[in-house]
Structure 1
Protein backbone atom coordinates (compact mmCIF):
# COMPACT_ATOMS: atom_id res chain seq x y z
CA UNK A 1 0.00 0.00 0.00
CA UNK A 2 1.27 3.48 -0.87
CA UNK A 3 2.06 6.01 1.88
CA UNK A 4 -0.94 8.01 3.09
CA UNK A 5 -1.40 11.75 2.72
CA UNK A 6 -0.11 12.28 6.27
CA UNK A 7 3.18 10.70 5.25
CA UNK A 8 4.10 14.01 3.62
CA UNK A 9 4.21 15.53 7.11
CA UNK A 10 5.18 12.51 9.22
CA UNK A 11 8.44 11.62 7.54
CA UNK A 12 10.68 8.85 8.94
CA UNK A 13 12.85 10.39 11.63
CA UNK A 14 16.08 8.66 12.67
CA UNK A 15 16.46 10.86 15.75
CA UNK A 16 12.99 9.84 16.96
CA UNK A 17 13.81 6.18 16.37
CA UNK A 18 17.01 6.59 18.36
CA UNK A 19 15.25 8.42 21.19
CA UNK A 20 12.69 5.62 21.46
CA UNK A 21 15.48 3.03 21.63
CA UNK A 22 17.23 5.00 24.37
CA UNK A 23 14.06 5.41 26.45
CA UNK A 24 13.38 1.68 26.14
CA UNK A 25 16.56 1.01 28.14
CA UNK A 26 16.72 1.21 31.92
CA UNK A 27 19.92 3.24 31.73
CA UNK A 28 18.36 5.75 29.33
CA UNK A 29 15.34 6.33 31.56
CA UNK A 30 17.58 6.67 34.63
CA UNK A 31 19.73 9.34 32.98
CA UNK A 32 16.69 11.37 31.88
CA UNK A 33 15.33 11.34 35.44
CA UNK A 34 18.75 12.20 36.88
CA UNK A 35 19.13 15.14 34.49
CA UNK A 36 15.80 16.60 35.59
CA UNK A 37 16.58 16.15 39.30
CA UNK A 38 19.80 18.16 39.05
CA UNK A 39 18.71 20.66 36.39
CA UNK A 40 15.68 21.71 38.44
CA UNK A 41 18.03 22.87 41.21
CA UNK A 42 19.60 25.31 38.79
CA UNK A 43 16.25 26.42 37.42
CA UNK A 44 14.80 26.94 40.90
CA UNK A 45 17.87 28.96 41.92
CA UNK A 46 17.43 31.40 39.04
CA UNK A 47 13.66 31.60 39.48
CA UNK A 48 14.12 32.47 43.16
CA UNK A 49 16.52 35.23 42.20
CA UNK A 50 14.05 36.51 39.61
CA UNK A 51 11.45 37.31 42.25
CA UNK A 52 8.69 35.94 44.52
CA UNK A 53 6.16 35.93 41.68
CA UNK A 54 7.67 32.62 40.52
CA UNK A 55 6.83 30.83 43.78
CA UNK A 56 4.00 28.76 42.30
CA UNK A 57 6.12 27.72 39.32
CA UNK A 58 8.91 26.62 41.67
CA UNK A 59 6.47 24.47 43.66
CA UNK A 60 5.33 22.72 40.49
CA UNK A 61 8.87 22.07 39.32
CA UNK A 62 10.00 20.72 42.71
CA UNK A 63 6.86 18.59 43.14
CA UNK A 64 8.12 16.08 40.57
CA UNK A 65 11.45 15.46 42.31
CA UNK A 66 10.27 12.94 44.97
CA UNK A 67 8.56 10.81 42.33
CA UNK A 68 11.60 10.91 40.05
CA UNK A 69 13.91 10.05 42.95
CA UNK A 70 11.72 7.10 43.90
CA UNK A 71 11.68 5.91 40.29
CA UNK A 72 15.49 5.90 40.23
CA UNK A 73 15.63 4.03 43.55
CA UNK A 74 13.24 1.40 42.19
CA UNK A 75 15.35 0.97 39.06
CA UNK A 76 18.45 0.42 41.19
CA UNK A 77 16.53 -1.87 43.52
CA UNK A 78 15.57 -3.97 40.50
CA UNK A 79 19.23 -4.67 39.78
CA UNK A 80 20.38 -1.68 37.75
CA UNK A 81 23.03 -0.99 40.39
CA UNK A 82 24.31 -4.34 41.63
CA UNK A 83 24.29 -6.41 38.45
CA UNK A 84 26.78 -4.28 36.46
CA UNK A 85 29.03 -4.15 39.53
CA UNK A 86 28.90 -7.94 39.94
CA UNK A 87 29.68 -8.22 36.24
CA UNK A 88 32.63 -5.86 36.68
CA UNK A 89 33.96 -7.82 39.68
CA UNK A 90 33.70 -11.09 37.75
CA UNK A 91 35.52 -9.70 34.73
CA UNK A 92 38.21 -8.09 36.87
CA UNK A 93 38.93 -11.26 38.85
CA UNK A 94 39.11 -13.37 35.68
CA UNK A 95 41.18 -10.81 33.78
CA UNK A 96 43.08 -8.90 36.50
CA UNK A 97 45.30 -5.90 35.73
CA UNK A 98 49.01 -6.67 35.49
CA UNK A 99 49.93 -4.13 38.16
CA UNK A 100 49.36 -5.13 41.79
CA UNK A 101 48.45 -1.54 42.65
CA UNK A 102 45.94 -1.38 39.80
CA UNK A 103 44.36 -4.63 40.98
CA UNK A 104 44.10 -3.35 44.56
CA UNK A 105 42.58 -0.02 43.53
CA UNK A 106 40.12 -1.55 41.07
CA UNK A 107 39.07 -4.26 43.52
CA UNK A 108 38.54 -1.71 46.31
CA UNK A 109 36.54 0.54 43.99
CA UNK A 110 34.22 -2.25 42.85
CA UNK A 111 33.58 -3.58 46.35
CA UNK A 112 32.83 -0.07 47.61
CA UNK A 113 30.29 0.30 44.81
CA UNK A 114 28.87 -3.11 45.66
CA UNK A 115 28.42 -2.05 49.31
CA UNK A 116 26.81 1.24 48.26
CA UNK A 117 23.67 -0.26 46.75
CA UNK A 118 22.46 -2.56 49.61
CA UNK A 119 23.02 0.25 52.11
CA UNK A 120 21.08 2.65 49.89
CA UNK A 121 18.26 0.13 49.41
CA UNK A 122 18.09 -0.49 53.16
CA UNK A 123 17.83 3.22 53.95
CA UNK A 124 15.26 3.87 51.21
CA UNK A 125 13.03 0.92 52.18
CA UNK A 126 13.21 2.00 55.82
CA UNK A 127 12.25 5.54 54.85
CA UNK A 128 9.21 4.20 52.98
CA UNK A 129 8.16 2.06 55.94
CA UNK A 130 8.68 -1.18 54.01
CA UNK A 131 10.99 -2.43 56.75
CA UNK A 132 10.79 -1.49 60.43
CA UNK A 133 14.12 -0.22 61.76
CA UNK A 134 15.43 2.45 64.06
CA UNK A 135 15.43 5.78 62.13
CA UNK A 136 18.94 6.48 63.42
CA UNK A 137 20.13 3.19 61.93
CA UNK A 138 18.58 3.87 58.53
CA UNK A 139 20.07 7.38 58.56
CA UNK A 140 23.48 5.89 59.32
CA UNK A 141 23.09 3.42 56.46
CA UNK A 142 22.24 6.27 54.10
CA UNK A 143 25.36 8.23 55.09
CA UNK A 144 27.57 5.13 54.80
CA UNK A 145 26.21 4.38 51.33
CA UNK A 146 27.09 7.88 50.11
CA UNK A 147 30.56 7.61 51.65
CA UNK A 148 31.13 4.32 49.84
CA UNK A 149 30.24 5.98 46.53
CA UNK A 150 32.42 9.01 47.28
CA UNK A 151 35.42 6.79 48.03
CA UNK A 152 34.75 4.71 44.91
CA UNK A 153 34.69 7.88 42.81
CA UNK A 154 37.92 9.02 44.43
CA UNK A 155 39.64 5.73 43.60
CA UNK A 156 38.26 6.05 40.09
CA UNK A 157 40.67 8.90 39.37
CA UNK A 158 43.59 6.47 39.49
CA UNK A 159 41.92 4.24 36.91
CA UNK A 160 41.20 7.25 34.70
CA UNK A 161 44.85 8.28 34.93
CA UNK A 162 45.98 4.80 33.87
CA UNK A 163 43.48 4.79 31.01
CA UNK A 164 44.76 8.19 29.86
CA UNK A 165 48.32 6.81 29.73
CA UNK A 166 47.13 3.81 27.69
CA UNK A 167 45.13 5.97 25.28
CA UNK A 168 48.07 8.34 24.79
CA UNK A 169 50.32 5.37 24.00
CA UNK A 170 47.81 4.12 21.42
CA UNK A 171 47.61 7.57 19.84
CA UNK A 172 51.40 7.77 19.53
CA UNK A 173 51.58 4.25 18.12
CA UNK A 174 48.95 5.04 15.50
CA UNK A 175 50.83 8.20 14.54
CA UNK A 176 54.05 6.20 14.10
CA UNK A 177 52.42 3.41 12.11
CA UNK A 178 50.21 5.70 10.04
CA UNK A 179 52.33 5.42 6.88
CA UNK A 180 52.46 1.61 7.14
CA UNK A 181 48.69 1.13 7.38
CA UNK A 182 46.23 1.26 4.52
CA UNK A 183 43.68 4.07 4.68
CA UNK A 184 40.78 1.80 5.66
CA UNK A 185 42.61 0.23 8.61
CA UNK A 186 44.00 3.59 9.72
CA UNK A 187 40.51 5.12 9.65
CA UNK A 188 39.10 2.16 11.61
CA UNK A 189 41.75 2.45 14.34
CA UNK A 190 41.39 6.23 14.50
CA UNK A 191 37.60 5.95 14.88
CA UNK A 192 37.94 3.35 17.65
CA UNK A 193 40.50 5.51 19.42
CA UNK A 194 38.26 8.58 19.18
CA UNK A 195 35.34 6.61 20.63
CA UNK A 196 37.44 5.34 23.52
CA UNK A 197 38.81 8.82 24.23
CA UNK A 198 35.28 10.30 24.24
CA UNK A 199 34.10 7.57 26.63
CA UNK A 200 37.07 8.33 28.90
CA UNK A 201 36.29 12.06 28.84
CA UNK A 202 32.69 11.41 29.91
CA UNK A 203 33.89 9.36 32.88
CA UNK A 204 36.32 12.14 33.82
CA UNK A 205 33.47 14.67 33.81
CA UNK A 206 31.33 12.29 35.87
CA UNK A 207 34.02 11.84 38.52
CA UNK A 208 34.98 15.53 38.68
CA UNK A 209 31.35 16.56 39.15
CA UNK A 210 30.00 13.85 41.43
CA UNK A 211 33.04 13.36 43.69
CA UNK A 212 32.64 16.73 45.50
CA UNK A 213 28.86 16.26 45.70
CA UNK A 214 29.12 12.80 47.25
CA UNK A 215 31.98 13.86 49.53
CA UNK A 216 29.84 16.66 50.96
CA UNK A 217 26.67 14.56 51.22
CA UNK A 218 28.61 11.82 53.01
CA UNK A 219 30.12 14.25 55.50
CA UNK A 220 33.67 13.54 54.36
CA UNK A 221 34.32 17.28 53.91
CA UNK A 222 32.87 20.44 55.41
CA UNK A 223 29.94 21.84 53.38
CA UNK A 224 31.20 24.08 50.61
CA UNK A 225 28.60 23.53 47.87
CA UNK A 226 25.23 25.26 47.86
CA UNK A 227 22.16 24.14 45.90
CA UNK A 228 23.25 26.07 42.83
CA UNK A 229 26.70 24.45 42.83
CA UNK A 230 25.20 20.97 43.26
CA UNK A 231 22.69 21.68 40.50
CA UNK A 232 25.41 22.89 38.14
CA UNK A 233 27.84 20.03 38.78
CA UNK A 234 25.08 17.43 38.72
CA UNK A 235 23.58 18.84 35.52
CA UNK A 236 26.94 18.77 33.72
CA UNK A 237 27.60 15.17 34.79
CA UNK A 238 24.03 14.12 33.97
CA UNK A 239 24.22 15.71 30.52
CA UNK A 240 27.46 13.82 29.85
CA UNK A 241 25.88 10.54 30.96
CA UNK A 242 22.76 11.26 28.92
CA UNK A 243 24.97 11.84 25.88
CA UNK A 244 26.70 8.51 26.53
CA UNK A 245 23.31 6.75 26.73
CA UNK A 246 22.30 8.45 23.47
CA UNK A 247 25.52 7.36 21.75
CA UNK A 248 25.00 3.79 22.95
CA UNK A 249 21.82 3.55 20.86
CA UNK A 250 23.51 4.60 17.60
Structure 2
Protein backbone atom coordinates (compact mmCIF):
# COMPACT_ATOMS: atom_id res chain seq x y z
CA UNK A 1 0.00 0.00 0.00
CA UNK A 2 1.34 3.42 -0.98
CA UNK A 3 0.59 6.56 0.97
CA UNK A 4 0.65 10.07 -0.53
CA UNK A 5 3.10 12.33 1.16
CA UNK A 6 1.24 14.69 3.50
CA UNK A 7 1.16 18.35 2.50
CA UNK A 8 3.15 20.33 5.00
CA UNK A 9 2.98 24.03 5.78
CA UNK A 10 6.42 24.52 4.24
CA UNK A 11 5.28 23.00 0.95
CA UNK A 12 2.18 25.16 0.95
CA UNK A 13 4.32 28.21 1.48
CA UNK A 14 6.64 27.18 -1.34
CA UNK A 15 3.68 26.63 -3.65
CA UNK A 16 1.88 29.89 -2.92
CA UNK A 17 4.48 32.38 -1.74
CA UNK A 18 7.25 30.92 -3.90
CA UNK A 19 5.25 30.68 -7.11
CA UNK A 20 7.78 32.93 -8.90
CA UNK A 21 10.21 30.00 -8.83
CA UNK A 22 8.33 28.79 -11.91
CA UNK A 23 9.64 31.78 -13.89
CA UNK A 24 13.26 31.72 -15.11
CA UNK A 25 15.49 34.81 -14.74
CA UNK A 26 14.82 37.26 -17.56
CA UNK A 27 17.53 39.33 -19.25
CA UNK A 28 14.77 41.56 -20.66
CA UNK A 29 13.52 42.39 -17.14
CA UNK A 30 17.10 42.97 -15.99
CA UNK A 31 17.69 45.30 -18.95
CA UNK A 32 14.40 47.12 -18.37
CA UNK A 33 15.14 47.71 -14.68
CA UNK A 34 18.69 48.80 -15.51
CA UNK A 35 17.48 51.35 -18.07
CA UNK A 36 14.45 52.64 -16.17
CA UNK A 37 16.61 53.12 -13.09
CA UNK A 38 18.28 56.01 -14.92
CA UNK A 39 16.67 59.43 -15.17
CA UNK A 40 16.80 59.41 -18.95
CA UNK A 41 15.23 55.97 -19.24
CA UNK A 42 12.26 56.65 -16.97
CA UNK A 43 11.70 60.10 -18.48
CA UNK A 44 11.69 58.80 -22.04
CA UNK A 45 9.23 56.06 -21.12
CA UNK A 46 6.88 58.59 -19.54
CA UNK A 47 7.30 60.83 -22.60
CA UNK A 48 6.17 57.98 -24.86
CA UNK A 49 3.17 57.37 -22.62
CA UNK A 50 2.30 61.07 -22.42
CA UNK A 51 2.31 61.73 -26.16
CA UNK A 52 0.63 58.45 -27.01
CA UNK A 53 -2.23 59.50 -24.74
CA UNK A 54 -2.35 62.95 -26.30
CA UNK A 55 -2.62 61.42 -29.77
CA UNK A 56 -5.39 59.06 -28.66
CA UNK A 57 -7.51 61.83 -27.11
CA UNK A 58 -8.74 63.44 -30.39
CA UNK A 59 -9.36 59.99 -31.88
CA UNK A 60 -11.53 58.97 -28.94
CA UNK A 61 -13.45 62.24 -29.05
CA UNK A 62 -13.98 61.87 -32.79
CA UNK A 63 -15.30 58.35 -32.31
CA UNK A 64 -17.66 59.60 -29.59
CA UNK A 65 -18.91 62.35 -31.92
CA UNK A 66 -19.63 59.86 -34.71
CA UNK A 67 -21.40 57.54 -32.29
CA UNK A 68 -23.63 60.40 -31.13
CA UNK A 69 -24.55 61.24 -34.72
CA UNK A 70 -25.46 57.60 -35.24
CA UNK A 71 -27.63 57.65 -32.13
CA UNK A 72 -25.41 55.24 -30.19
CA UNK A 73 -24.66 57.62 -27.33
CA UNK A 74 -26.04 60.80 -25.77
CA UNK A 75 -22.91 62.93 -25.54
CA UNK A 76 -20.32 63.67 -28.19
CA UNK A 77 -17.30 63.56 -25.93
CA UNK A 78 -15.38 60.60 -24.57
CA UNK A 79 -15.04 60.00 -20.84
CA UNK A 80 -11.94 57.92 -21.52
CA UNK A 81 -10.42 60.81 -23.46
CA UNK A 82 -11.01 63.13 -20.50
CA UNK A 83 -9.28 60.66 -18.19
CA UNK A 84 -6.38 60.27 -20.63
CA UNK A 85 -6.07 64.05 -20.71
CA UNK A 86 -5.78 64.23 -16.92
CA UNK A 87 -3.15 61.49 -16.87
CA UNK A 88 -1.12 63.12 -19.67
CA UNK A 89 -1.28 66.46 -17.85
CA UNK A 90 -0.06 64.85 -14.62
CA UNK A 91 2.82 63.16 -16.44
CA UNK A 92 3.80 66.43 -18.11
CA UNK A 93 3.78 68.30 -14.81
CA UNK A 94 5.79 65.58 -13.07
CA UNK A 95 8.42 65.45 -15.79
CA UNK A 96 8.92 69.21 -15.53
CA UNK A 97 9.36 68.91 -11.77
CA UNK A 98 11.86 66.06 -12.16
CA UNK A 99 14.02 68.29 -14.38
CA UNK A 100 14.86 70.50 -11.40
CA UNK A 101 18.12 68.55 -11.00
CA UNK A 102 19.11 68.95 -14.65
CA UNK A 103 21.16 72.07 -13.95
CA UNK A 104 23.63 70.05 -11.87
CA UNK A 105 24.13 67.63 -14.76
CA UNK A 106 24.95 70.53 -17.08
CA UNK A 107 27.45 71.96 -14.60
CA UNK A 108 29.12 68.55 -14.30
CA UNK A 109 29.19 68.20 -18.10
CA UNK A 110 30.73 71.66 -18.65
CA UNK A 111 33.36 70.96 -15.99
CA UNK A 112 34.20 67.67 -17.69
CA UNK A 113 34.60 69.47 -21.03
CA UNK A 114 37.35 71.65 -19.63
CA UNK A 115 39.25 68.81 -17.96
CA UNK A 116 39.14 66.22 -20.74
CA UNK A 117 40.53 66.50 -24.31
CA UNK A 118 37.93 66.83 -27.07
CA UNK A 119 38.26 65.43 -30.63
CA UNK A 120 38.36 68.88 -32.26
CA UNK A 121 38.43 72.52 -31.25
CA UNK A 122 35.15 73.09 -33.11
CA UNK A 123 33.38 70.43 -31.07
CA UNK A 124 34.72 71.91 -27.86
CA UNK A 125 33.40 75.37 -28.68
CA UNK A 126 30.04 74.02 -29.89
CA UNK A 127 29.53 72.10 -26.66
CA UNK A 128 30.63 75.08 -24.61
CA UNK A 129 27.94 77.20 -26.26
CA UNK A 130 25.39 74.43 -25.81
CA UNK A 131 26.25 74.22 -22.14
CA UNK A 132 25.78 77.96 -21.66
CA UNK A 133 22.44 77.83 -23.47
CA UNK A 134 21.23 75.18 -21.03
CA UNK A 135 22.49 77.24 -18.10
CA UNK A 136 19.99 79.82 -19.31
CA UNK A 137 17.23 77.32 -20.00
CA UNK A 138 17.00 75.51 -16.67
CA UNK A 139 16.71 78.45 -14.22
CA UNK A 140 14.11 80.13 -16.45
CA UNK A 141 12.03 76.95 -16.68
CA UNK A 142 12.27 76.32 -12.94
CA UNK A 143 11.21 79.88 -12.15
CA UNK A 144 8.36 79.69 -14.66
CA UNK A 145 7.15 76.40 -13.15
CA UNK A 146 7.16 77.78 -9.60
CA UNK A 147 5.30 80.92 -10.68
CA UNK A 148 2.67 78.97 -12.62
CA UNK A 149 1.96 76.82 -9.55
CA UNK A 150 1.75 79.85 -7.22
CA UNK A 151 4.77 78.67 -5.24
CA UNK A 152 6.38 82.07 -5.89
CA UNK A 153 4.49 85.38 -6.10
CA UNK A 154 4.31 86.90 -9.56
CA UNK A 155 4.76 90.39 -8.14
CA UNK A 156 7.03 91.54 -5.35
CA UNK A 157 8.30 94.86 -4.04
CA UNK A 158 12.04 95.29 -3.73
CA UNK A 159 14.17 98.01 -2.27
CA UNK A 160 16.82 98.04 -4.96
CA UNK A 161 18.91 100.70 -3.28
CA UNK A 162 19.14 101.78 0.37
CA UNK A 163 19.52 105.37 -0.85
CA UNK A 164 16.12 105.36 -2.62
CA UNK A 165 13.06 105.89 -0.50
CA UNK A 166 10.76 104.59 -3.22
CA UNK A 167 10.63 100.81 -3.62
CA UNK A 168 10.53 99.22 -7.02
CA UNK A 169 7.92 96.64 -8.02
CA UNK A 170 9.23 93.53 -9.75
CA UNK A 171 6.68 91.60 -11.77
CA UNK A 172 7.40 88.20 -13.33
CA UNK A 173 5.28 86.41 -15.90
CA UNK A 174 5.40 82.61 -16.04
CA UNK A 175 4.55 82.51 -19.74
CA UNK A 176 7.24 85.02 -20.73
CA UNK A 177 9.88 83.18 -18.71
CA UNK A 178 8.82 79.91 -20.30
CA UNK A 179 9.18 81.33 -23.83
CA UNK A 180 12.67 82.61 -23.06
CA UNK A 181 13.66 79.27 -21.57
CA UNK A 182 12.51 77.60 -24.79
CA UNK A 183 14.56 80.06 -26.83
CA UNK A 184 17.64 79.01 -24.90
CA UNK A 185 16.80 75.40 -25.72
CA UNK A 186 16.19 76.34 -29.38
CA UNK A 187 19.73 77.76 -29.49
CA UNK A 188 20.98 74.41 -28.19
CA UNK A 189 19.02 72.51 -30.87
CA UNK A 190 20.39 74.75 -33.64
CA UNK A 191 23.94 74.20 -32.37
CA UNK A 192 23.31 70.46 -32.35
CA UNK A 193 23.17 70.49 -36.18
CA UNK A 194 26.71 71.91 -36.18
CA UNK A 195 27.67 69.25 -33.64
CA UNK A 196 26.26 66.52 -35.88
CA UNK A 197 28.18 67.89 -38.85
CA UNK A 198 31.42 67.59 -36.90
CA UNK A 199 30.42 64.09 -35.76
CA UNK A 200 29.83 63.07 -39.36
CA UNK A 201 33.26 64.36 -40.42
CA UNK A 202 34.94 62.35 -37.67
CA UNK A 203 33.02 59.20 -38.55
CA UNK A 204 33.83 59.54 -42.24
CA UNK A 205 37.50 60.04 -41.45
CA UNK A 206 37.43 57.00 -39.19
CA UNK A 207 35.75 54.94 -41.93
CA UNK A 208 38.32 55.99 -44.56
CA UNK A 209 41.22 55.10 -42.29
CA UNK A 210 39.79 51.69 -41.45
CA UNK A 211 38.66 50.84 -44.98
CA UNK A 212 42.25 50.12 -46.01
CA UNK A 213 42.65 47.37 -43.44
CA UNK A 214 40.66 44.27 -42.58
CA UNK A 215 38.47 45.15 -39.63
CA UNK A 216 37.98 42.85 -36.71
CA UNK A 217 34.36 41.97 -35.79
CA UNK A 218 34.58 44.13 -32.65
CA UNK A 219 35.78 47.14 -34.69
CA UNK A 220 33.00 46.67 -37.24
CA UNK A 221 30.43 46.51 -34.45
CA UNK A 222 31.79 49.65 -32.80
CA UNK A 223 31.70 51.60 -36.07
CA UNK A 224 28.17 50.37 -36.73
CA UNK A 225 27.08 51.57 -33.28
CA UNK A 226 28.59 54.98 -33.90
CA UNK A 227 26.75 55.43 -37.17
CA UNK A 228 23.52 54.17 -35.63
CA UNK A 229 23.88 56.67 -32.79
CA UNK A 230 24.58 59.44 -35.29
CA UNK A 231 21.44 58.77 -37.33
CA UNK A 232 19.31 58.44 -34.20
CA UNK A 233 20.61 61.74 -32.90
CA UNK A 234 19.89 63.37 -36.27
CA UNK A 235 16.28 62.13 -36.30
CA UNK A 236 15.72 63.40 -32.75
CA UNK A 237 17.13 66.81 -33.62
CA UNK A 238 15.06 67.05 -36.80
CA UNK A 239 11.98 66.44 -34.67
CA UNK A 240 13.13 68.91 -32.02
CA UNK A 241 13.90 71.78 -34.39
CA UNK A 242 10.34 72.61 -35.54
CA UNK A 243 9.15 72.18 -31.94
CA UNK A 244 11.79 74.62 -30.72
CA UNK A 245 10.78 77.18 -33.35
CA UNK A 246 7.09 76.64 -32.60
CA UNK A 247 7.38 77.17 -28.85
CA UNK A 248 9.91 79.99 -29.25
CA UNK A 249 7.37 81.98 -31.26
CA UNK A 250 4.53 81.48 -28.78
CA UNK A 251 2.96 78.43 -30.47
CA UNK A 252 2.46 80.23 -33.80
CA UNK A 253 4.38 78.01 -36.22
CA UNK A 254 2.59 74.64 -36.08
CA UNK A 255 -1.16 74.97 -36.51
CA UNK A 256 -2.31 71.56 -35.27
CA UNK A 257 -1.53 70.17 -31.83
CA UNK A 258 -1.54 66.65 -33.29
CA UNK A 259 1.60 67.53 -35.27
CA UNK A 260 3.29 68.76 -32.08
CA UNK A 261 2.39 65.58 -30.22
CA UNK A 262 3.50 63.39 -33.13
CA UNK A 263 6.91 65.08 -33.36
CA UNK A 264 7.35 64.69 -29.62
CA UNK A 265 6.42 61.02 -29.79
CA UNK A 266 8.90 60.37 -32.63
CA UNK A 267 11.69 62.04 -30.68
CA UNK A 268 10.79 60.13 -27.52
CA UNK A 269 10.68 56.76 -29.30
CA UNK A 270 14.02 57.26 -31.04
CA UNK A 271 15.62 58.54 -27.82
CA UNK A 272 14.26 55.55 -25.90
CA UNK A 273 15.68 53.20 -28.52
CA UNK A 274 19.12 54.85 -28.29
CA UNK A 275 19.12 54.67 -24.51
CA UNK A 276 17.96 51.06 -24.57
CA UNK A 277 20.82 50.06 -26.86
CA UNK A 278 23.29 52.07 -24.78
CA UNK A 279 22.40 50.15 -21.61
CA UNK A 280 22.52 46.73 -23.24
CA UNK A 281 25.03 44.18 -21.98
CA UNK A 282 27.82 43.27 -22.31
CA UNK A 283 29.15 46.66 -23.38
CA UNK A 284 27.54 50.13 -23.39
CA UNK A 285 27.69 52.51 -26.32
CA UNK A 286 31.25 53.77 -26.87
CA UNK A 287 31.94 57.13 -25.27
CA UNK A 288 33.23 58.46 -28.58
CA UNK A 289 29.96 57.82 -30.41
CA UNK A 290 27.87 60.67 -31.65
CA UNK A 291 25.32 60.60 -28.84
CA UNK A 292 25.59 63.94 -27.12
CA UNK A 293 26.86 64.00 -23.50
CA UNK A 294 23.87 66.09 -22.43
CA UNK A 295 21.21 63.94 -24.13
CA UNK A 296 19.80 62.74 -20.81
CA UNK A 297 18.71 66.24 -19.89
CA UNK A 298 18.06 67.75 -23.31
CA UNK A 299 14.65 66.50 -24.32
CA UNK A 300 12.22 67.25 -27.11
CA UNK A 301 9.71 68.00 -24.38
CA UNK A 302 11.79 70.30 -22.25
CA UNK A 303 9.79 73.20 -23.56
CA UNK A 304 6.26 71.86 -23.32
CA UNK A 305 5.42 74.38 -20.62
CA UNK A 306 5.24 77.06 -23.29
CA UNK A 307 1.89 75.62 -24.32
CA UNK A 308 0.88 74.68 -20.80
CA UNK A 309 1.06 78.30 -19.73
CA UNK A 310 -1.19 79.44 -22.59
CA UNK A 311 1.37 81.70 -24.20
- TM > 0.5 fold call: yes
Once the two structures are overlaid, the 10-residue window that deviates more, 197-206 or 207-216, is: 197-206
Post-superposition offset of 1:92:
2.3
- Per-residue Cα deviation, 1:27-80 (whole angstroms, up to 9, x for no partner): 211111111222222222333333425611111111112221222122211x1x
Post-superposition offset of 1:8:
7.2
Give the Cα separation in 2 of the matches to 1:43 and 1:71: 20
- Alignment partner, residue 120 of structure 1: 141
Superposed, 1:170-185 pairs within 5 Å as 170-178=206-214
Higher helix share: 1
**Which of residues 91, 108, 111 is equivalent to 1:68?**
91
Post-superposition offset of 1:221:
8.1
- Alignment partner, residue 85 of structure 1: 106
**Which of residues 151, 166, 171 is equivalent to 2:187?**
151
Superposed, 1:217-228 pairs within 5 Å as 217-219=247-249, 222-228=252-258
Give the Cα separation in 2 of the matches to 1:58 and 1:66: 12
Post-superposition offset of 1:91:
2.5
- Alignment partner, residue 197 of structure 1: 227
Give the Cα separation in 2 of the matches to 1:102 and 1:18: 32
Give the Cα separation in 2 of the matches to 1:64 and 1:24: 22
Give the Cα separation in 2 of the matches to 1:221 and 1:174: 47
SS at match of 1:64: helix
Give the Cα separation in 2 of the matches to 1:93 and 1:242: 29
Q: 1:169 to 1:129 in 2, by over 3 A?
A: same
Superposed, 1:227-242 pairs within 5 Å as 227-242=257-272
SS at match of 1:224: coil
Post-superposition offset of 1:138:
2.2
- Per-residue Cα deviation, 1:70-96 (whole angstroms, up to 9, x for no partner): 22122211x1x2233222212323335
Give the Cα separation in 2 of the matches to 1:197 and 1:174: 14
SS at match of 2:95: helix
List runs of 5+ in structure 2 lacking aligned partners.
Answer: 1-13, 68-76, 156-170, 281-311
Bigger relative contact order, structure 1 or 2, given CA contacts below 8 A and separation 6+?
1
SS at match of 1:12: coil
Q: Is the 8 A contact 1:147 1:218 kept in 2?
A: yes
Deviation above 6 Å: which 4+ runs of structure 1? none
Larger Rg: 2
Q: Is the 8 A contact 2:55 2:262 kept in 1?
A: yes
